[in-house]
Amino acid sequence: MKVVTDARELPSGCAFVPTMGALHAGHASLLSIAQQKNKNVVLSIFINPLQFENAQDLAKYPRTPEADLALAASHGATHVWLPSQAEIYPANHRVLSAGPISYLYEGKSRPGHFDGVVTVVRRFFDLLKPSVAIFGEKDFQQLKLVEEIAGDVEIIRAPIIRESDGLAMSSRNIRLTAEGRAAATVISRALSSSKTEGELRTALSTEPLFTLDYADFIDEESFAPASPQTVHVRAIVAGWINEVRLIDNMQMVQRS
């Protein structure tokens, strides 16, 4: 595995896995998919300041560089890219607009977040020129917005990887206390047991440590509220435990 800081040292046409580090088994699953797509697998580690609307959240974001390199090496990355701020954001860089969907849900609670996401992803693509990029479904709204700005880069959707108790894997989970970690399982339990928004919100309300932001059924394509006629319905949830923001989602087979 080769570790580089300059995109010009990377193979174009590769399979690309962009990350912010603090890697876990969910990221390993993305690398596994990438290996099936291309012999060259590039994983980037870049904590993008533009997608943090809160300076304290940026400061608290977990950083595990040595463990990250070990995981990348053991799960098939041929290259790890550690770009500098100057490489990604030169003096004349322009912040992109993520569009109407970016103002909903996560975007409503985190103003400017998705503008930062699409700006950095588009910059990655322009510098690296990958053939495919792999993104997890856990950040489903992000995935949808990345697909809209991908251009000729094929976006591969990767399923959510969960802990044995159902909690969706996230780099932020390590910031939870033991009590908070146990409480967080309410999210996946509520998603898997609910057939309506009302049931979902009721199930989430049973956990006193969980502060709800939103719990809704949406149309996967438009992000409009789901109706009885919606073909592809997804339940999306966000909230806080121990001041840590947690998100999750699940495709709904049917509505009742």
DSSP β-ladder status, 41-45 and 15-19? parallel
With contact defined as beta carbons under 8 Å apart, do 130 and 14 qualify? yes
Mapped to the 3 state alphabet, what secondary structure does 183-246 carry? HCHHHHHHHHHCCCHHHHHHHHCCCCCCEEEEEEEEECCCCCECCCCCCCEEEEEEEEECCEEE
Which residue is it, tokens 């390590």?
174
Separation of alpha carbons 3 and 78, rounded Å: 9
Separation of alpha carbons 129 and 90, rounded Å: 18
End-to-end Cα distance, the chain: 50
Backbone angles phi, psi at 238, to 5 degrees: -145, 150
> Which residues belong to the active site?
27
Separation of alpha carbons 80 and 205, rounded Å: 42
